[in-house]
């Protein structure tokens, strides 16, 4: 990782019964899910688009990309600033909190194309996702 982990805050959220997080600097805002317009012939993880204050925002379902069960319909959207590529939001089940990550809490041995590592929070693990891995 290019920066000290102690300097990083993450947004913790829930997908089904698992907890995940992303770096706060990538998060533009968190909004309630509104009516989605489905897009014909879109990728399986694209749920549709919604109007977010005049900006067309593509809403994706990270559960599809992460191959999780999809028994619960998320009602919150984490919107990411994708710098010139349009606005993208992840449909999530619940926002938990913003926390600082200490270096001792992070295990980077499981880093992959979509995962920075795993953050140990007490007896639980929080999977730290890379926003760029789940996009429209």
* Distance between CA atoms of residues 20 and 11, nearest Å: 8
- Residue 81 has a pLDDT of 74
- Residue 5 has a pLDDT of 57
Strands 124-129 and 18-23: parallel
* Distance between CA atoms of residues 4 and 103, nearest Å: 8
Give counts: helices (H), strands (E), the chain. Answer: 1, 11
Here the tokens at position 89 are 């939001």
Number of independent structural domains in the chain: 1
E strands, 1-136, in order: 9-15, 18-23, 27-32, 46-52, 55-60, 76-80, 87-92, 94-100, 106-107, 115-121, 124-129
Segments forming the whole domain that contains residue 127 = 5-133
CATH number of the domain where residue 23 is located: 2.40.50.180
- Residue 118 has a pLDDT of 95
Helix (H/G/I), strand (E/B), else coil: 132: helix
Strands 76-80 and 27-32: antiparallel
Query: What are the pLDDT tens digits along the chain (136 aa)?
Result: 444 555 689 999 999 999 999 999 999 999 999 999 999 999 999 999 999 988 899 999 999 989 898 887 789 999 997 666 678 999 999 999 999 998 888 999 999 888 999 998 788 899 999 988 887 6
Give Cα separations from 75 to 19, 44, 118 (angstroms).
16, 19, 25
* Distance between CA atoms of residues 87 and 58, nearest Å: 6
């Amino acid at each position: 990782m290019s920066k000290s982990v102690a300097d990083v805050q993450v947004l913790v959220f829930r997908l089904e019964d698992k907890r995940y997080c992303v770096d706060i600097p990538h998060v533009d805002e968190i909004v309630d899910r509104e009516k989605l317009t489905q897009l014909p012939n879109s990728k399986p993880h694209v749920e549709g688009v919604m109007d977010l204050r005049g900006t067309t925002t593509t809403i994706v379902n990270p559960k599809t990309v992460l191959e999780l069960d999809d028994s619960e319909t998320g009602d919150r959207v984490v919107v990411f600033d994708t710098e010139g590529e349009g606005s993208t939001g992840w449909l999530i089940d619940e926002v938990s909190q913003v926390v600082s990550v200490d270096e001792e809490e992070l295990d980077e041995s499981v880093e992959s194309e979509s995962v920075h590592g795993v953050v140990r929070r007490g007896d639980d693990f929080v999977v730290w996702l890379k926003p760029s891995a789940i996009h429209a």
